[in-house]
């Protein structure tokens, strides 16, 4: 079940990468980053209330530590990880940015070991090694020339998401509620964005920053927000049922979804090169090994 949730999450993230690239020419503010976090908080909060999950909160108050972990993880994912992902995708395109996110396991595995003692199994290590090797093969052949900023932002995004995985898993071990975890993290992210807009600068600059956060809210940006909300919620559900390493490595499939959706929706022709084919094979084999594990 956890692997299936992770697969569906990868599909959502892959499609979101395409919609981000598709909307980049319409961007007037932050490109819908804040909108995506706000939608995630509102949607998962509403679903949590409708699911009637409130009574399951522990009466002894031990859930506050878990909520704190969800909040910190949310800042790592919805503020740092998502902001860097948007900018990296705008520079490199959906496929290039998705390939760089394949380095998430490189950060996630040691963090999972340090935080929760979650040691990967042999299949996870072999599959993860194949995925990472595919990333480096791709980076050596298909990374856009002069896109150092995009690559750097992609790496920062991967590291931020990896840290959020470990923190979320640690919180879910204490409070197994994916909807509440997603809502708490997204709410913390919203507060960070609003704090930046209201706590710094003059009143004029605050209004400018607030406008910057809210101006991009057309159908395309809203669609991206919904996809990222679904992807993040499914990812939390996956973490509840399987290991951090499996979730991080199965997420490698979002590059395949990005390539597929980019071909269908953006009509991009995939240029086949020997290194590109090797990269695709390595990522595919590694991902298949993880799914069959």
Q: Over the stretch 211-264, which tens digit does the pLDDT of each residue have?
A: 888 888 888 888 988 998 898 889 888 988 888 878 887 776 777 777 777 777
Which residue did the predictor score with more confidence, 59 or 65? 65
Measured between alpha carbons, how far is 212 from 273 in angstroms, rounded to an integer? 41
pLDDT for 187 = 94
Total-model pTM: 0.76
Measured between alpha carbons, how far is 239 from 258 in angstroms, rounded to an integer? 22
The chain-wide mean pLDDT, for the chain, equals 80
Domain extent listing, the chain: 2-51+61-292
Average pLDDT estimate for 280-285: 77
pLDDT tens per residue, range 258-276? 777 777 776 655 565 677 7
């Amino acid at each position: 079940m956890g692997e299936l949730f992770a697969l569906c999450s990868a599909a959502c993230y892959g499609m979101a990468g395409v919609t981000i690239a598709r909307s980049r020419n319409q961007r007037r503010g932050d490109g819908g980053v804040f909108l995506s976090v706000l939608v995630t908080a509102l949607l998962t909060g509403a679903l949590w209330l409708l699911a009637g999950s409130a009574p399951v909160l522990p009466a002894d108050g031990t859930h506050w530590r878990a909520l704190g972990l969800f909040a910190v993880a949310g800042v790592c994912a919805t503020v740092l990880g998502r902001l860097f992902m948007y900018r990296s995708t705008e520079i490199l395109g959906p496929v290039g940015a998705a390939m760089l996110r394949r380095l998430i396991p490189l950060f996630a595995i040691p963090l999972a070991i340090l935080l929760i003692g979650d040691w990967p199994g042999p299949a996870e290590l072999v599959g993860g090694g194949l995925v990472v090797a595919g990333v480096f093969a791709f980076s050596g052949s298909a990374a856009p020339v002069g896109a150092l900023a995009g690559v750097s932002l992609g790496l920062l995004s991967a590291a931020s998401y990896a840290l959020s995985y470990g923190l979320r898993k640690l919180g879910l071990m204490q409070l197994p509620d994916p909807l509440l975890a997603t809502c708490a993290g997204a709410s913390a992210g919203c507060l960070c964005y609003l704090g930046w807009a209201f706590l710094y600068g003059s009143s004029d600059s605050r209004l400018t920053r607030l406008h910057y956060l809210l101006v991009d809210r057309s159908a395309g940006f809203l669609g991206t927000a919904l996809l990222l909300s679904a992807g993040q919620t499914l990812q939390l559900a996956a973490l509840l049922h399987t290991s951090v390493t499996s979730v991080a490595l199965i997420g490698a499939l979002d590059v395949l979804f990005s390539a597929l959706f980019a071909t269908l929706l953006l009509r991009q022709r995939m240029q086949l090169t020997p290194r590109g084919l090797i990269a695709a094979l390595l990522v595919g084999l590694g991902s298949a090994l993880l799914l069959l594990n």
